[in-house]
Structure 1
Amino acid sequence: MLRQPDLRAATATAPVLCVGAVLWDIVGRTPREMRLGSDQPGRIVRIPGGVALNIAMALRRAGLRAELLGAVGRDFEGDGLIAACAKLGLGTDHLYRSEDLATDTYMAIEGAGDLTAAIADVHSLEQAGDKILRPLADGTLGTADTPFAGVVALDGNLTETLLAEIAQSPLFAQADLRIAPASPGKAERLLPLLDHPRAVLYVNLEEAGLLCQAQFGTARDAAAALAARGAGRILVTDGGGETAEARDGDIICGRPPKVTVTRVTGAGDTFMAAHIAAELAGADRAAALERALAAAAAYVSGETAGA
Structure 2
Amino acid sequence: MRESVAVLGSIHMDLLVGAPRLPTLGETLMGENWYQTPGGKGLNQAVSCARAGVHVAMYGAVGHDGFGDTLLDYMKSQHVSTHHVTRVRDARSGISIVVRTPDDYGAVVSSQVNAALSRGSVAHWAQRLAHTDMLVLQNEIPEEVNVAAALLVRRAGGQVVLNAAPARTLSRELSDQLTLLVVNAVEASMMGTGEVHDLDAAARACAQLQAMLGCAVVVTAGPHGAAWMLGSGECGNVAGIKVDVITSHGAGDAFIGHLVAELSRERCLGDAVEVANRQAALFVSTPRPQEHRELA
Whole-angstrom CA distance in 1 between matches of 2:36 and 2:93? 14
**Which runs of 5 or more residues in structure 1 are unaligned?**
1-11
Q: Does 1:256 align with 2:240?
A: yes
Q: How does 1:1-307 map to 2 (within 5 A)?
A: 14-30=3-19, 32-36=20-24, 37=27, 39-115=29-105, 117-137=106-126, 139=127, 141-142=128-129, 147-167=130-150, 169-173=151-155, 174-184=157-167, 187-189=168-170, 192-196=173-177, 198-212=178-192, 214-217=194-197, 218-248=201-231, 249-302=233-286
Whole-angstrom CA distance in 2 between matches of 1:166 and 1:133? 6
Whole-angstrom CA distance in 1 between matches of 2:268 and 2:135? 20
From the superposition, tell whether residues 190 and 239 of structure 1 become closer, same or farther in structure 2 (CA, over 3 Å): farther
Whole-angstrom CA distance in 1 between matches of 2:87 and 2:12? 12
From the superposition, tell whether residues 183 and 295 of structure 1 become closer, same or farther in structure 2 (CA, over 3 Å): same
Per-residue displacement from partner, 1:46-72 (whole Å, max 9, x unpaired)? Answer: 111111110111112111111111011
Structure 1 residue 126, shift from structure 2 partner:
1.4
2:71 alignment partner AA: L
Whole-angstrom CA distance in 1 between matches of 2:53 and 2:221? 27
- TM-score w.r.t. length of structure 1: 0.83
Structure 1 residue 130, shift from structure 2 partner:
2.6
Worse overlay, 289-298 or 40-49: 40-49
Worse overlay, 49-58 or 121-130: 121-130
Structure 1 residue 191, shift from structure 2 partner:
5.5
Runs of at least 4 residues off by over 6 Å = 304-307
Structure 1 residue 278, shift from structure 2 partner:
2.0
Query: Do 1:209 and 1:215's aligned partners in 2 also have CA atoms closer than 8 Å?
Result: yes
Whole-angstrom CA distance in 1 between matches of 2:246 and 2:28? 19
1:25 alignment partner AA: D
From the superposition, tell whether residues 251 and 303 of structure 1 become closer, same or farther in structure 2 (CA, over 3 Å): farther
Query: Do 1:69 and 1:133's aligned partners in 2 also have CA atoms closer than 8 Å?
Result: no
Structure 1 residue 84, shift from structure 2 partner:
2.1
Structure 1 residue 35, shift from structure 2 partner:
4.3
Per-residue displacement from partner, 1:106-129 (whole Å, max 9, x unpaired)? Answer: 1111112212x2111113111222
1:278 alignment partner AA: E
- Structure showing the higher helix proportion among its residues: 2
Query: Do 2:6 and 2:132's aligned partners in 1 also have CA atoms closer than 8 Å?
Result: no
Secondary structure (helix, strand or coil) at the match of 2:3 reads coil
Work out the number of aligned pairs and report it. 284
Whole-angstrom CA distance in 1 between matches of 2:30 and 2:171? 36
- TM-score w.r.t. length of structure 2: 0.86
From the superposition, tell whether residues 49 and 191 of structure 1 become closer, same or farther in structure 2 (CA, over 3 Å): farther
**Which runs of 5 or more residues in structure 2 are unaligned?**
none
2:207 alignment partner AA: A
Give the fraction of aligned pairs with identical amino acids, expressed as a percent.
Answer: 23
Whole-angstrom CA distance in 1 between matches of 2:236 and 2:70? 43
Aligned-residue RMSD, C-alpha: 2.4
